[in-house]
A and B are shown apart, each in its own frame.
Chain A
């Protein structure tokens, strides 16, 4: 990092004014929309407006579990200004939808299965009228007992025709009778994190003259959203178009389809544009959350602390509908032992239905929950053996060539030991004793109640891993088109820019390949070929790969005539700064000249090597690639009040190849901070299935004061040969690892077990002081 800084300084000193704009791979190209976003002029979905639009409101269930005995919409329909009221009876196509498995009704018809499930939707000429009319829909319920304890879901009456068990993976790897000299056990609970995007859901549906509809949404997976919408509307997919608007933050499958689908229905029914902006409360009720998880672990180790066997039971609370629970469970089971060599593993994983708020994809799903648990086990083992926690981990870390409990050999770079050594050897942050006492930032914050005498410092470690791309045979293809005309390149790719920086990366790839500085990335809609969902680092890999291939094809088209003319192959020509030169420097011409007014187009696909589903004993090559991270956390704990301040998180990560240093650091810092939220404050609480405090006061996201100093100690650049550019996605693995590291540090500071996330103050109190 310091080397890069040094080079940057030298370059800046040498450069004449004006400063050169960074370009190409490896440069810190700023995002094209950064200025508009900073100044507040960037249009998000909530800013859209159309002439004559109507406003929608969704009636949501106030009960987590109830039988609907009647729905009377007559009063709502008669209200002045109301244009349409739709219920389950108005869904012309498939009444069910869902990610992976179509098990969720568009509108509840007979049963409601979670608090906030949509029952009806209204379009009216004013948002207040719409809300009042939604409230005027009379629904009679027969309230049923909610199933809120996932452990009871197995025995309980099925709350869904598909049964309460969504998936069970009994992973068996190695010798069941193996036993170690040392055994540690633990029970761990992980809370419900909400993705809490900065902008709540919003959208606009515009009917088309051909009987179809256009949906303007902040979607991160437009083609899938389109297909699901078309199925519900009973239309061919071609007659539904999803246009992606500005996405105000996405760390998950962003959108709640419970409002997208009614929006289009209302537009089709009224023939008018219909808009909906969700309130924060609706947003919390509607979209999916991180799976609350219960984990039981037993680790066996030999006298030196080498792992012999891991037994675990993992129970994911999926809420009422399957969504992506199956994928989350696969990740949880496969990574249940973490990046450690474990010869024998017996992991039982279940995802079950309850009447709790729905769960789905949130960054690092499955992997995050198990990381908190297996790292707690490693701490326990270290304590029992009297070994330094970092040293114990070092004795067990995996490397390339080791085998996962799923039987898959880790073929990608896995420099886990190097990562751990880097964070362990990084100097610890100094105690603030040299500065005046009233300037110390103690747990509880400035103006807080922290008292230096009650503060203990703790250091802890976390090692985490995630998979990249969809797993278990998912077809992770992406398509991109690159067009060059008049010295300007345009990228058409349906990969949504959700703040992760894909458009910046696409520009860099084209700059690098074609030597053209001015690159535009077109807005996304479903008229383009699909690029898939923006999650698990897909777009860096497959969409970036597709852009690179398309750009290379354009390059060949551009250079072929020249190469032919000079009798050399295109490989011997290079493009830099808009100039084409031959290897020997004899030939030199500009790109504009070579283009000769032509327009060059190329479309390419990128499809990673196939994976296979986990079999009935949890074995299989299910993952395309993995990335790893080590974090050392330093925390201060006020042991009387139990308040925790994360002082510093030192991180080392396996990134494959750095494509944009500034963006990469920003993504890592964001991921680490999201992990701080999981560790300390973020838990969407529910009581008997009802969400309590669905607002940002009750649900405390980390603020600037909660975010620690984040030190990126080392970025290991070992190229992953199967990934385009050798690069690994970076966002998810810090989210997975930092909660475990923070819990480990709180354990070190207090001596308490800390087996629940987020860490409640009473779990960090040391009594008897």
Chain B
């Protein structure tokens, strides 16, 4: 009923390929954006921003980066955490070496460092595939983490081996550091995520995106039809790691405020991978749904026993939480192996013809 497509004609191929072939999709997106830009800022508390909204956005961005590599170009990566770390450390070094540098500039540039690291560790993908490739990215994960710990220059020889985000300003408003108002940080993250999402949607729809998909579906066949495998794979590593690096910079600068090397350990990589897979590989929307499920759900579950007055210790809540997340992952994989995005797509199909399915 709400999703009626009657009366929406497509008179050209262009219209059929448009971002929103159905008007209602555009409306829905507008509604979500209104919530994100107007309703949440007016209603949410500090806790909501710091524990839910900002992390969901940042994790979704990281998953988006990974999804380009794994979901669109078919190259499994287990090194996302380390690439986020490269972005974060690069941003930190840029800001501390050039204190007068604009924070936007630092974040934009820091993505290139992680992109370079991504391409370097992506080189073996030209020769090895599948799970064997995962080892190359694991090597990146462990090696880079080790480097973050041992290379004291990276954290400015700080005694604790941690990086501390300085207060920086943008248009007179403090954006990073402890002084920053949470609302400003939220908007900064939100706008960055929106821009990168728009970029990702367009790049995956275009020529490059199609090349990636061809490589994913069968790389030998893709090579036979004249696709340059090296270019396709490395460009996927480049774009993916760039986005992941920016997510890493946001992760530390706009959310955590301080970071030590262990923050970027393999658990972080797995977390992002969960989000991408639960959300749906090869989908942009899925990253957001996945991040909601993996990041926000534990926070919510954690508050449930207290809210209903169950006498459970906080440690037990954590234990149960881990168990529930594990069960949910399995459950969702069984229910819909292609992720939440596919679930939504099916629902949308049904809604379009509802209430007359025949």
Q: Do A and B truly interact?
A: no
- The residues of B with any CB-CB pair to A shorter than 8 Å are none
- The residues of A with any CB-CB pair to B shorter than 8 Å are none
